[in-house]
């Protein structure tokens, strides 16, 4: 989204300068008039340098926590941003917060200043900040965002830690298989007097060994083509839709993935709804944060039904995505008029369930990797055993 620098007068005749993001010139004029300003000069800030640094969940949790603490203690937003800018360790982060500080100091809203760096901040945070500004509870919103991103960071760290062993195991499997085919198998080739004497399995394994040693570059090219092909296919809506559906409907692992999605959905919906954001926008933001096209498609229907007066619990139940228990909890919250509190407690429960789901998913991968490695080693051993027997007979 382009930015426009402007010089304008307010209703009292005071000169105001600043920067405003807008889709085009007409959008800019509409937005600046909404602020009660009358521009005397404006230009598209095409040359404004924008940092491309994307904040991690850990950085977002830290920044939101610091902002919440300073705003709660009574500091002004401008002063809090100035202090937060100085506390940044990375130069790219410091440049972004410095730009936000300067824009707010010029009279721009905090959410609009964040929107100017929408590539660095998630849209979810920007929406929550806008809601906090509208309701006058920005300090509470920042605290809620701190808790939200702290939990997101904890889940990311849990997944990374849990996946470390399977990744090492995969690398070990690949290294062992390549070593067996390129170094071990060729040493047994001389034990056979001619190729016709080799058993069928041995000939196949020897052919693979010869291919890896002589045409390894073809294999690397094939792998690269496969990787880029998969990435391209995932950009195709139909392919991505089928893959995302398989992730949550797949046998065994699908139910575990749904628990992780449920935790993120409940936590996001709770944060948005308790901040006073309309339910329709809450649903759109909450489903989008899952980054699953199949769920996005289902929730378009949910949003339409909620607009028509359908209850949220009944509409979500028909998507057949989340567990029945989760839908029942939403129903209880709707009936009791305490949906935000119910969702907050539910998100805590499913956070624990998500941790267990991650561990079980990893537990499913480990034996699969070990079995694959065992099969490959077993095939190689079975292919060289005839040669060993023949050599023993010749010695006798």
pLDDT in tens, 316-347: 988 888 888 888 988 998 888 888 788 888 88
DSSP three-state, residue 76: coil
| CA gap 49, 3 in Å, rounded | 11
What is the rounded distance in angstroms from the CA atom of residue 329 to the CA atom of residue 323?
A: 10
C-alpha–C-alpha distance, residues 140 and 128, integer Å? 10
Residue keyed to tokens 């559906």: 245
Q: How far is CA 59 from CA 223, 264, 268, 292, in A?
A: 35, 18, 18, 24
Q: pLDDT, tens digit, for every residue of 182-225? A: 887 777 766 665 666 667 777 787 788 888 888 888 888 998 99
Q: Which pTM was predicted?
A: 0.68
Beta carbons within 8 Å of 391's beta carbon, 6+ residues apart: 191
| Helix/strand/coil for 3 | strand
Cα separation, 142 vs 71, whole angstroms: 9
The pLDDT value given to residue 64: 93
pLDDT band at 166 (very low <50, low <70, confident <90, very high): confident
- Given a cut of 80, whether residue 295 has pLDDT beyond it is yes
Q: Between the CA of residue 7 and those of 32, 44, 45, 108, 115, what are the distances in Å?
A: 11, 12, 13, 13, 20
Q: What is the pLDDT of residues 214-268, one digit of tens each?
A: 888 888 899 899 999 988 988 888 998 999 999 888 887 788 888 888 888 888 8
């Amino acid at each position: 989204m382009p930015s426009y620098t402007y010089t304008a007068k307010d209703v009292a005749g005071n000169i105001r300068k600043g920067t405003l993001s807008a889709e085009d010139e007409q959008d800019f004029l509409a937005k600046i008039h909404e602020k009660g300003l009358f521009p005397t000069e404006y230009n598209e800030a095409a040359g404004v340098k924008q940092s491309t640094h994307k904040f991690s969940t850990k950085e977002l949790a830290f920044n939101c926590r610091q902002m919440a603490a300073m705003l709660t203690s009574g500091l002004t937003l401008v002063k809090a941003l100035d202090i937060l800018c100085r506390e940044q360790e990375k130069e790219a982060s410091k440049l972004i917060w410095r730009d936000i500080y300067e824009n707010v100091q010029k009279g721009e809203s905090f959410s609009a200043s964040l929107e100017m760096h929408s590539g660095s901040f998630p849209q979810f945070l920007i929406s929550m900040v806008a809601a906090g500004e509208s309701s006058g509870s920005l300090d509470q919103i920042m605290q809620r965002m701190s808790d939200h991103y702290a939990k997101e960071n904890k889940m990311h760290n849990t997944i990374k830690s849990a996946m470390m062993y399977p990744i090492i195991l995969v690398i070990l499997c690949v290294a062992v298989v390549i070593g067996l085919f390129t170094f071990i198998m060729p040493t047994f080739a001389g034990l056979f007097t001619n190729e016709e004497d080799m058993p069928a399995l041995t000939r196949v394994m020897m052919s693979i060994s010869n291919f890896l040693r002589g045409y390894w570059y073809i294999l690397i090219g094939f792998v690269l083509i496969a990787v880029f092909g998969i990435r391209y296919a995932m950009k195709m809506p139909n392919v991505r839709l089928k893959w995302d559906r398989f992730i949550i409907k797949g046998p065994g692992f699908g139910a575990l993935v749904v628990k992780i999605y449920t935790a993120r959905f409940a936590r996001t919906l709770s944060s948005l709804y308790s901040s006073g954001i309309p339910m329709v926008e809450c649903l759109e933001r909450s489903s989008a944060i899952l980054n699953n096209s199949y769920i996005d498609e289902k929730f378009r229907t949910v949003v339409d039904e909620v607009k028509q007066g359908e209850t949220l619990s009944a509409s979500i139940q028909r998507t057949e995505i989340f567990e029945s228990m989760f839908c029942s909890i939403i129903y209880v919250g709707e009936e009791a008029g305490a949906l935000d509190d119910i969702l907050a407690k539910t998100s805590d429960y499913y956070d624990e369930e998500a941790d267990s789901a991650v561990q079980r998913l990893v537990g499913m991968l480990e034996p699969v990797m070990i079995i694959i490695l065992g099969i490959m080693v077993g095939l190689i051993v079975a292919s060289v055993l005839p040669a060993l027997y023949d050599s023993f007979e010749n010695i006798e």
